[in-house]
Structure 1
Amino acid sequence: MTPTTSAPAPAGPTRRLPTNVSYGSWELIWAHIHRVLVVNLGLAVTCLPLLAALAAAHEPWRHPVPFTLLWLCVGPALAGAFGYLERAADDTADTARAIELPRAYRRLFRRATALWAPYALLAAAGATDAVLLRHTAVGLAVCPALAVVSVLSALSGVHAMALTAAGPEDHPLTPAAYLTAPYGLLRRWPLALADLVLLLGAAALVNRAPLLGLATLPGCALYVVWRNVHAAHARLESADTAAPRGR
C-alpha cells in the first residue's frame, strides 16, 4: 500500500510590509537632501581658498594675516547659502534649481562682506591672541575672555549673514545693522547656545573626516541655524510690537 501524500497548499499572495511614508513625504525628504547638498557644494566652492590653505598649513595660527584675509570669504559664502535657503523656502519659487545659490552669492556679496568684516576681524584677533598668550603668565586670566569674545563674534557674524539674506538688499548699513545680530543672540540665548553647540560639533566632525563631513554636515547645521535665527527674531519683533500695549 503506497502512502498517500497530501498536495501542497497553494501559495497565497506575498505579503508586503506597508509603507507609512507617502509620496509627498518622500518628495519633501528628497527636497531637503537636495538643499543640503547644494549648500555643501556652494560652501566648498566659495571657501575653496581657505580650505586649501587649511589643508596645506599644519599650524594656521602661525600665519594670522593670510588666514584672517581668507577668513573674510566665509561671510559671503554663508550669505549665499542662507539666500538660497530663503529662496528655496518660497513656495512660489523654483526651489529645485541650484543656480539660485550663486545668484544669491553674487547679489549679497558686497553687503555681506561689509557686514561680516567686523565680526570676522574681532573673532580672528581674539583667537590669535588667545593662542599666542596661552603659555604666558597672563594667559590663564586673559585666554578664557578672549575665547568667549572670539566665539561670540563668530556666532554673531553667522546670525548677521542669515539676517542679511532675509532682509532688504537696499537697506543702508547703519550702526543698528551691526548690533541686530548680537542683540538677538543675547536676548534669545537658548537658541544661540543650541546654534553654537551645533556649529562647533559640525566643525569638529569635519576636522576628523574632512571629505565626509563637508559632504553632509555644513548644510544640515546651517539649515537648523537659519530656522533658529528666523524663530528668534520673529519672537523679538512680536515682543517689541506688543510691549507698548502692555504699558
Structure 2
Amino acid sequence: MRAVNTVAIVTGGSRGLGRSTVEALARRGVASIFTYHSNKSAADDVVGSVARSGARAVALQLDTSDTRAFPAFAQEIQRVLTEWGVEGFNYLVNMAGTSHSGLLGEITEDALDDAYRIHVKGPLFLTQTLLSQITDGGRIINISSGLTRFAYPGWLPYASMKGAVEVMTHYMAKELGSRRIAVNTVAPGAIQTDFSDGMVRDNPEVAHHIAGITALGRVGLPDDIGPMIASLLSEENRWVNAQRIEVSGGQAI
C-alpha cells in the first residue's frame, strides 16, 4: 500500500462516474475519501478495487442534500486525514447527484426544491464547510451536464440546476484564486450508467438515438469521464481555471 501524499474527496463515489473517478485517481496514486448515499456494499466494492491498485480509499455515508450533516462529515474527514498522516486534502469533486425530470406543466414545487438541495445547495455548502481542510493550490471540480448546452424536453429542473452550478463555479474560482485553488466544471454528455433508471444504458432506442447525434458515433461510458477528471485535477492542468469542459464525444454539435 502506497504512502498517502495526495487526497481527493469525491461525493457519490460508489457508482457510475464517481466510481470511475475514484478508480482513475487511484491509478495515479491519489487516495480518496468518497461518499455513498445508501449502498454500503457498492462502496465497499470500490474500496476493495482501489486497494488492489495499491492506493487507499475510505467510504463515508453522506446525504449531500442534508447540509446539517456536513460539520460531522468534516470531522470524519479530519479523522481519516490524521490516520493517514496528512494535514489536508487536495481535490474536491462534487459528483453526487440524481435525476430530476418533468415537463414544464408537470413540475412540482417539491420536486424543484429537491433538485435545488441536491445539485446546488449541497455542493455549495459542502465546499464552504470543507474550505479550511483543502490545501492551498488545490482543485475543485463541480459536475454539470451537456443539458445546459442542448435541450431535451422534460429536463428543465435538472438542467436549470446544472446551469446554476456552472455560474457557481465561476464565482468560486474568482474567490478562491488568492489561495491558488482552481475551480472548474465538467459537463458529461449521455453516459451508460444507472442514472435516470439506466435510461441510456438499458434502452436501446435511446442509446441508438444518442449515438446517431454524437460525432464519435457512440454513447459515453463511465471510463470516458473518470480518467478525464483525474487528468484535469493533475498538475499538468494547473493553469485551467473557471472553465466549463464538456465531455460528450461531440453530442448534438
- TM-score in terms of structure 1 length: 0.28
Structure with the higher strand share, 1 or 2: 2
Instruction: Give the structure with higher Rg (CA).
Output: 1
